[in-house]
Amino acid sequence: MNKGAAGAAPLFSRPLQNNYGLSFVIIGMSLTGPAAADQSPTAAEQLPDEVATLKRMVLELLASLHERDRDIAGLRHRIDLLLRRLYGPRSERFPPNQLLLFAEMIAGQDTAESPTEPAAPRPPRRRCRPHGRRRLPDNLRRDPRHHELSEAERVCQGCGQMRIDIGVDKSEQLDYQPASLFVVEHFVHKYVCPGCAKRPAQAREQQTRPAQESEPMPSREPEAQLPPPPTNSMPASRAADAGPEPIAPRPQTTDPSPRPQPQATPFLIPDPGEVVIAAPKPAMPIAKGLPGPGLLAHLIVSKCVDHLPLHRLERVYQRQGVFLHRSTLCDWMGACADLLRPLYDLMVSVVLQSRALHTDDTTVKMQELVTHLLSTARLWVYWGDAAHPYNVFDFTRNRKRDGPQQFLANYQGYLHADAFSGYDGLYLPDPQTATARIIEVACNAHARRKFYEARSSDALRAHQALAYYRQLYELERHAKDFSDTQRLQMRQDLAVPILGQFHTWLEAQRPEVLPKSPMGEAIGYALNNWEALRRYTEAGFLAIDNNVSEREMKRIAIGRKNWLTIGSPRGGQTAAMLFSFTSTCLRLSVEPWAYLQDVLTRLPTTTAGQLGELLPDRWETVRRAGLAAPPTSEPSPTASGSAESAR
C-alpha cells in the first residue's frame, strides 16, 4: 500500500446515484501523476497489497455490478414494453408447450384426480369458415336483367325457322350503388268551407267585437242594417222576412228581464281559423329543421360506428352537391341527443337493475370553452348483464371518484372493475346495515397481464404464473355454454383448488423477489386483490375478468384517433348518449342505422309509457316477428270487390 497516501483520501466513498438510477463506487486512492486526475486505478501497482482490503474492494465491486445489472434490466424491461406497445402484437398468448416446464404441478393434479372417473368428452372443435364464394343474402334487392337475342339472331342458319326459348342460365353478381342524398317535399294540403268563406267580412268582425257591443244602444243607427241574430225560436226564413223591420224589437230591450236570453245565444258564425283546415304534418326529429331521420341516423352511425369525423362527413356530403358545415352537423347531433334523452334515461334505469355490472373508462381530449386548451376527460361504460343487455356510457371531465359514485348511487350488486382507487368508496359497508351495497369483482386479466409483462425479467416465475391462469381460463372456455348453476359447481370443484395452489405459490415467491421488480409488482398486485380476484367463483353469473368492458373501450380508442377531441362538456354528454345506442345495437346484432332511423321517426310522438317499445332488444324482437310473419292469403275486401266488378 502506498505509504504517502495515509490520510490523503478515504479508501472507499459512498455510492453516487446518477440521473439514470445507476450507482458507482468511487475508490479513493492517493495517486500521483496523470492517474490522480480521474481517481481510477489503471495498473496492478496502483492497487493496495493488503488481502483484506482487496477482498472488501471485490465485494463492493460485485455489489455495484449486481445493482447496475438490476437497474439495466429494469430499464431494458421498460424499453421492451414501450416498443411492444408501439410496434409489437397486442396478443398476450404464450406457447402451450411452456406448461411442460412445470411437470411437478401437473403431476400433482393428475394424482389428485380419481383414475376411475371417466374423462369429460372434449367439446367439438369449432369448424372453420368455408372458403370460396358464399350465397348472397336473400334480403338484398334483386335487379333482374334478361339477356335475349333479337328476332334476327334467333333465325336458324340451317333451316331458317325461328328458335324457341327453352330455358335460362341464372347467375348472380354483387354490385354496389353509393348512398345518395334525396329531398323529401312535404305538401300540406289546406281545405276551406266554401259556404263560410262567402260570408260578408262585417259578419265575421261582429263576432270579435267586445261584449259591451251586444247591448243595443238607441242612438246607434247602423245596427238597423244588420240582420237579426238567429235564435232557436225563430227560423231562418222568418228572420229573412223580418229584414225591413229592424226597429220592431226595440221596445223589448227596455225590459231587463228578457235580456239574458240574447246573451246566452251569441252569433254562431264560425271562426276564420276553423274555416280553413290543413292536413296534420308528421312531427320531425328537429322541429322546423332541415334533416330527416334517415340523414340523422346516417350521421350518428358514421361518427360513432364508422369513426368518421365531421370534417370528413362534410366533404362526403359536398361531393353529392350539398354543403353542410361541420358546426351544423354538430348541432344536429346535439339535437338528436336531446331527443333521445328520455330513452337513454330508461336504459340507465334498466342497466342499474343488473345483478352484475362491468365498468371501465378511457381518456378523451376535451377543448375548454374559455381558454381553448386541451384537458383530459373520461368516458365510462357500464355493461349490463344478460337480463338487461344494454351498454350505457357516461362522461366526466376528470377521473375523480364522483363519476362512478353518482352513476352507481342507487345500484346494488356485483361490480366488475379494475383496481382503480376511485371505486374503493363504493365497496365500503353501509353504516346502518354494516353490509356493502356493491361487491367488488376484480379482473384476472389485469393480474395475468402483469405476469406476462414480467417474462423478460423473470421468465421462470412468469411462465409458471401464466400456466396457472391457462388452466383457469381453459375451465371457463369449456363452461361457456353451461347454466349458472352448472358453472358454479364446476368452479367450486375445479377452479377453487387451482386458485388455492396459485395463492400458496404466490406467498412462497413473494419473499424471493424484489418488491420493485416487475415480478414483485405482479405478485403484489395479485396478493393485494386476492379476495376480489377469486370472488368470481362465488356465483355462476360472474365473469373471470372484465374484458367485455375493455373491448367496448377499444371502440372509443379507435374513434379517438380520428375525431381527436371533444369540443365541450355538452359534446361529451352527447357522445356518451349516442355511443350508448350504437354500442348496444352492435352488442345485440341490431342494424344501427335502421334502428336509429325508426326511433328518430317515432320518438317525437311516443308517450312516456311507450318508451319501452323502442329499446333495442324489444325493437329487434318486433322487427323479426314482422319479417317472420307469413303474408295473409285472404284477399282484402277492396281486392275482392274489384275482382267481382271485373267479372
Q: Are 441 and 415 in contact (CB under 8 A)?
A: yes
Single-letter amino acid, residue 471: Q
Beta-carbon-side half-sphere exposure of residue 588 (alpha carbons within 13 Å): 27
Secondary structure (3-state) at 268: coil
Sequence-ordered strand ranges (E) for 495-572: 565-566
- Mark the ranges of the chain whose per-residue pLDDT is less than 70: 1-42, 46, 88-132, 199-275, 629-647
pTM of the predicted protein model: 0.69
For residue 38, give Cα distances in angstroms to 15, 365, 604.
Answer: 16, 51, 84
pLDDT digits (tens, 9 = 90+) for 488-498: 999 999 999 99
d(CA 64, CA 49) in angstroms, rounded, equals: 22
Half-sphere exposure of 39 (CA within 13 A, CB side): 13
Asked if 376 and 365 count as a contact pair (C-beta separation under 8 A), the reply is yes
Give the C-alpha separation, 419 to 440, whole Å: 9
pLDDT of residue 390: 96
CB under 8 Å to 86, separation ≥6 — which residues?
none
Give the type of residue at 619.
Answer: W
* 645 Cβ neighbours under 8 A, 6+ residues apart: none
**What single string gives the DSSP state of each residue in 337-377?**
HHHHHHHHHHHHHHHTT-SEEEEEEEEEEEE-TTT--EEEE
**130/119 Cα distance (integer angstroms):** 31
8 A C-beta contact, residue 73 and residue 457: yes
What is the b/e burial string over 538-558, where b = at least 16 CB atoms within 10 angstroms of the residue's CB?
A: ebbbbbbbbbebbebbebbee
> Tell me, what's the pLDDT at 246?
43
Contact between 395 and 573 (Cβ < 8 Å): yes
Side-chain-side CA neighbours of residue 34 (13 Å):
2
What is the model's pLDDT at position 528?
94
Closest CA to 600 of 590, 592, 589, 608: 592
- Determine contact, residues 360/392, Cβ cutoff 8 Å: no
In 3D space, the residue among 489, 502, 506, 560 whose CA is nearest the CA of residue 534 turns out to be 502
Q: Show contacts of 76-85: CB within 8 Å, 24+ apart.
A: 76/456, 77/453, 77/454, 77/456, 77/457, 77/518, 80/456, 81/453
Count of residues making up the chain? 647
* pLDDT, tens digit, 9 for 90 and up, residues 355-405: 999 999 999 999 888 888 899 999 999 999 999 999 999 999 988 777 898
Question: Cell for 595?
Answer: 334502428
Hey, which bits of 368-452 come out as E strands?
374-383, 391-396, 413-416, 438-441
Q: What is the pLDDT of residue 626?
A: 83
Distance CA 226, CA 247 (A): 11
Burial 355-389 (b: 16+ CB within 10 A, else e): bbbbbbbbebebbeeeeeeeeebbbbbbbbbeebb
Q: What per-residue confidence (pLDDT) applies to 201?
A: 54
